């Protein structure tokens, strides 16, 4: 992926400058700058309440902004909401499929909301059910479908108008691993077809799998920006050594600090951030420490995320 | 819709596509035809029980022009008006509240080019179609019982649509203010006494003057008067006055409902 800078934003699908959203006293989004280029998969990563969904709703033209500027597909949501919405697809955080309709009808009727012709939506629904692997459930009601199937149907529904931009708000929350992998595969296929995607998630593996570029949000502001590997390089080390100690034998963090770039103390584990985990593991042993178990793993976005947004549990 | 109303509607909230919602409702109700039947039979049961049963004890009552008419012919237009009201209110309160708060159906719709005005008009339009079908069914039953005394009765169908439209618009506006299912007790509290006391079952003259004035303010009273005038063939300019009452309800209801949906859904 070619790195995107502000100068080549001529092809930018979304451009936000100082974007703000206030609900009464509470300011959910406090000045956010975002550029999303055509063909890119862009991620908003952050804990609950970081302002991701509020930002998504403003981009989706269903929530008026309180301040700053916003352009979606070159248009202003405040003036051209319906025109923008005609060209985007939205996958909301909670499935809001029409429980009174069948799988096929959900797709067809939704297409009609876009003003598409009866013949067109009939054909499109067949194609999308194929894409979502729901063809054999075509004439079933929606309610008995599994969580993964409903999610796929919601995504298929968002594609009914052949959108240039797809907004996915926590697309795989609550899905089992198989369902997630199938969904990722479908989203990757869409990316190859050139559909620009904006995804919010708090799953690090999802962001690493899907996103070309992402921002980490916390408390309504962007705290970091880059590709997954850039962020890991900038805010973490190549590897992490995880040590688990018997409580009596657990050394103080200060004793381990000379052995790693950074040491993080968790209730049950100690994390040593280091370029070479195996080597550090040897050092720990040579220093006379005897962990119950130790694990060397690649550093992940999770480390970046926790470093940037803190380990305190949100809500 | 008069052009004036547009000024009270949320800007950018109309894609000109309420028909898509009506298509959705007709598709969805293909599986719910039982609810349709019950809506049709309810006023018929009342007509048979009260009109024929109670009517044999009551005898004749003075019609709109003072001439006596049978008790069944007296209450039938009242039941017609009440069924238009009940159907429209049910659709625009319970059904709309469920879609708004639980099914999140309108959130899904507003992610498309549709706006809150499309949603309001589409849902009200559907309530109207149902109301129209019930009215048509009930008018046929009235004809079967020989209770339509004049060709003017043909106009009772469009009049029922206007009445249904007005109640649906106001019902939807009211629903947008409701917080929980408990609030629906208020709907029952408004609808039931209106059904019983708006000259549906006996003439206004039984009340003392002050109560007459209260009843004359109620929307169902105007609906009943309108229907009774048409089905008995006692038609005068006064009917236009009753009609005006509903035009105001429609305008106010649509404007408030659209604005409230805008505020609720497009936060």
Residue A299 covered by a domain: yes
Starting at the edge strand found earlier in the chain, the sheet holding A293-298 runs A262-265, A270-274, A239-244, A293-298
The yes-or-no verdict on residue A169 having pLDDT over 80 is yes
- Whether the CB-CB separation of A63 and A54 falls below 8 Å is answered with yes
**Full domain range(s) for residue A105:** 12-226
Residue A119 pLDDT level (bands cut at 50, 70, 90): very high
Do residue A85 and residue B31 have CB atoms under 8 angstroms apart? no
Q: Which of A226, A256, A283 is the last residue of a domain?
A: A226
Please indicate, yes or no, if residue A126 is contained in any of the structural domains: yes
Residue A124's pLDDT band, with cuts at 50, 70 and 90, is: very high
Sign of the torsion angle spanned by Cα atoms B98, A173, A196, A45:
positive
Residue B227 pLDDT > 70: yes
Q: Please check the confidence at residue B239 and state whether its pLDDT lies above 70.
A: yes
Residue A193: per-residue pLDDT: 94
Question: pLDDT above 90 covers what percent of chain B?
Answer: 64
Please tell me whether residues A55 and A192 are part of one structural domain: yes
Q: Is the pLDDT of residue B179 over 70?
A: yes
Tens digit of each residue's pLDDT (9 = 90 or more) over B76-119? 999 999 999 988 898 889 989 999 888 899 999 999 999 988 99
Per-residue pLDDT, B217:
95
Q: Regarding beta strands A221-226 and A239-244, do their DSSP bridges make them parallel or antiparallel, or are they unpaired?
A: unpaired
Q: Is A311 an interface residue toward B (CB < 8 Å)?
A: no
- Domain boundary among the residues A172, A193, A226 is at A226
Q: What is the mean pLDDT of residues B113-128?
A: 90
As a whole number of Å, the CA-based R_g of chain A is 22
Q: Which residues does chain B have within 8 Å of residue A23's beta carbon, measured at their own beta carbons?
A: 267
Per-residue pLDDT, A301: 81
At B250, the pLDDT band (50, 70, 90 cuts) reads very high
Residues 6+ apart with CB under 8 A from B3: none
Q: Would you say residue A2 lies in a domain?
A: no
- Residue A264 sits in the same domain as residue A171: no
Find the mean pLDDT for residues B135-157: 93
Confidence check: pLDDT of B245 > 70:
yes
SS3 content of chain B, % helix, strand, coil (to 5): 75, 0, 20
Cα–Cα distance for residue pair B97/B130, rounded to 1 Å: 18
- Pick A105's closest partner by Cβ from B15, B27, B111: B27
Q: Which of A206, A226, A246 is the last residue of a domain?
A: A226
A148 part of a folded domain = yes
Distance CA A119, CA A135 (A): 18
Question: What pLDDT shows up at residue A176?
Answer: 87
Same domain, A250 and A105: no
pLDDT for position A312 = 53
Q: What is the pLDDT of residue A118?
A: 96
Same domain, A97 and A196: yes
Task: Give dist(CA A217, CA A213) in Å, integer.
Answer: 13
CB–CB contact B103 A64 (8 Å): no
Which residues in chain B have their CB less than 8 angstroms from residue A62's CB?
107, 110-111, 265-266
Same domain, A268 and A138: no
Q: What's the domain count of chain A?
A: 2
A116 within some domain = yes
Query: Tell me, what's the pLDDT at A294?
Result: 93
ipTM above 0.90, yes or no: no
Query: Is residue A55 domain-shared with residue A133, that is, in the same domain?
Result: yes
Q: Is residue A83 less than 8 Å (CB to CB) from chain B? A: yes
pLDDT in tens, A204-239: 888 888 999 999 999 999 999 999 989 988 988 889
Top residue of B17, B25, B108 to mutate, by most chain A CBs within 10 Å, is B108
Cα–Cα distance between B156 and B169 in angstroms, integer? 20
Position B257 pLDDT exceeds 70? yes
> Above pLDDT 70, what percent of chain A?
95
Query: Whole-model pTM?
Result: 0.85
């Amino acid at each position: 992926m070619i790195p995107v800078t502000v100068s080549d934003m001529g092809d930018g699908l979304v451009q936000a400058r100082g974007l703000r959203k206030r609900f009464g006293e509470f300011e959910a989004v406090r000045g956010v700058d975002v550029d999303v280029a055509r063909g890119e998969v862009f991620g908003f990563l952050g804990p609950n309440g970081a302002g991701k969904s509020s930002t998504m709703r403003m981009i989706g033209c269903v929530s008026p902004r309180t301040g700053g500027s916003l352009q979606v597909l070159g248009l202003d949501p405040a003036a051209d909401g319906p025109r923008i919405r005609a060209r985007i697809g939205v996958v909301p955080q909670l499935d809001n499929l029409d429980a009174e309709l069948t799988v096929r009808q959900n797709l067809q009727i939704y297409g009609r909301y876009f003003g598409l012709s009866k013949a067109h939506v009939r054909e499109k629904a067949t194609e999308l059910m194929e894409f979502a692997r729901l063809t054999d459930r075509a004439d079933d009601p929606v309610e008995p479908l599994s969580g993964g199937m409903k999610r796929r149907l919601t995504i298929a529904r968002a594609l009914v108008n052949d959108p240039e931009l797809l907004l996915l708000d926590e697309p795989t929350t609550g899905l089992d691993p198989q369902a997630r992998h199938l969904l990722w595969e479908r989203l990757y296929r869409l990316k190859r077809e050139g559909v620009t995607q904006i995804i919010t998630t708090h799953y690090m593996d999802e962001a690493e799998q899907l996103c070309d570029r992402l921002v980490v949000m916390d408390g309504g502001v962007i705290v970091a920006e880059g590709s997954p590997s850039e962020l890991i390089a900038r805010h973490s080390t190549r590897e992490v050594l995880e040590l688990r100690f018997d409580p009596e034998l657990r050394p103080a963090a200060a004793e381990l600090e000379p052995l790693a770039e950074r040491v993080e103390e968790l209730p049950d584990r100690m994390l040593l951030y280091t370029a070479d985990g195996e080597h550090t593991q040897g050092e720990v042993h040579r220093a006379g420490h005897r962990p119950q178990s130790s694990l060397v793993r690649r550093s992940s976005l999770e480390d970046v995320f926790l470093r940037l947004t803190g380990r305190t549990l949100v809500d | 819709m008069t052009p004036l109303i547009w000024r009270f509607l949320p800007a950018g909230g109309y894609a000109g596509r309420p028909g898509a919602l009506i298509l959705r409702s007709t598709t969805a109700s293909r599986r719910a035809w039982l609810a349709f039947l019950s809506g049709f039979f309810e006023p018929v049961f009342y007509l048979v029980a009260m009109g024929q049963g109670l009517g044999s004890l009551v005898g004749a009552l003075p019609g709109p022009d003072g001439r006596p008419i049978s008790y069944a012919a007296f209450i039938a237009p009242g039941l017609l008006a009440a069924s238009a009201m009940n159907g429209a209110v049910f659709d625009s309160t319970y059904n709309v509240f469920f879609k708004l708060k639980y099914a999140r159906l309108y959130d899904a719709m507003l992610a498309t080019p549709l706006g809150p005005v499309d949603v309001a008009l589409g849902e009200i339009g559907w309530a109207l179609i149902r109301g129209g079908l019930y009215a048509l069914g009930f008018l046929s039953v009235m004809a079967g019982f020989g209770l339509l005394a004049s060709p003017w009765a043909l106009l009772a169908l469009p009049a029922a649509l206007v009445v249904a439209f007005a109640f649906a618009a106001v019902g939807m506006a009211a629903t947008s203010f409701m917080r929980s299912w408990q609030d629906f007790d208020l709907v029952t509290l408004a609808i039931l006494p209106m059904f019983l006391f708006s000259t549906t079952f006996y003439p206004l003259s039984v009340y003392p003057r002050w109560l007459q004035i209260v009843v004359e303010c109620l929307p169902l009273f105007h609906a009943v008067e309108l229907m009774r005038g048409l089905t008995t063939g006692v038609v005068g300019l006064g009917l236009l006055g009753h009609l005006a009452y509903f035009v105001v309800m429609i305008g106010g209801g649509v404007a408030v409902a659209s604005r409230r949906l805008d505020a609720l859904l497009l936060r």
